[in-house]
Amino acid sequence: ETGVTQTPRHLVMGMTNKKSLKCEQHLGHNAMYWYKQSAKKPLELMFVYNFKEQTENNSVPSRFSPECPNSSHLFLHLHTLQPEDSALYLCASSQDWGGASNQPQHFGDGTRLSIL
């Protein structure tokens, strides 16, 4: 599925670097999400944006900084990350926040992040 595109697919960075993850959706959806997926752990919701406004920050450390300039684009800015932040970061979008229109989320293929 190509409705949600994430770049880069792989990222290796040192703990002192600053990088950004990008997500783009061409589905006309109003809500966008960042999730963290670590090995042997449940999927963790990080942030939710609805009509470009942040509606959820799930106690995420400040070294992760989201940005949603419009309904089609979502960024995750990273700085001074820790080794435990190594994970697959997934972006998703849905027609409405929480699926009120009974429509599902659509996911990108994720960015595999490795912190050295």
Partner 1 sequence: AQSVTQLDSHVSVSEGTPVLLRCNYSSSYSPSLFWYVQHPNKGLQLLLKYTSAATLVKGINGFEAEFKKSETSFHLTKPSAHMSDAAEYFCVVSARYGQNFVFGPGTRLSVLP
Q: Does 105 help bind partner 1 (rule: CB under 8 A)?
A: yes
| CA angle (15 as vertex; 59, 52 as ends), nearest 5 | 40
The DSSP annotation for 20-37 comes to EEEEEE-S--SEEEEEEE
- Rounded to whole angstroms, the Cα distance separating 66 from 88 reads 16
Q: Using CB under 8 A as the criterion, what x/- string covers residues 7-46 for binding partner 1?
A: -----------------------------------xx-x-
Task: Note the residues at the interface with partner 1 (CB under 8 A).
Answer: 1, 4, 6, 42-43, 45, 48, 55-56, 88, 90, 92, 94, 96-100, 102, 104-110, 112
